[in-house]
Amino acid sequence: MIEHYAPFDAAVQRFYGLACARVAEQALALGCGEGWRGFADPDAPANPLRDPCGYISEGNVVAVGTVPG
């Protein structure tokens, strides 16, 4: 697990700001709801990632498989 607590440093803010903006763009285009609108502009003062109570949790999974011969 990777966890970040607000206030985020500049590198974390930029990385997740851009990542969330890309997901928000896709979600809004698909009509997934206006809840994504706040993430659309990573530099906006009202972006949820700028909330003083912000929290980011990221998990990664690695799967290994074999192809039958």
> For residues 27 and 36, is the Cβ–Cβ distance under 8 A?
yes
Whole-number pLDDT of residue 50: 96
Cα 33 to chain centroid, rounded: 16
pLDDT digits (tens, 9 = 90+) for 38-60: 999 999 999 999 999 999 999 99
- Percent of the chain clearing pLDDT 90 (strictly above): 96
pTM score, two decimals?
0.80
pLDDT in the model for residue 47? 96
- Mean pLDDT estimate for the chain: 95
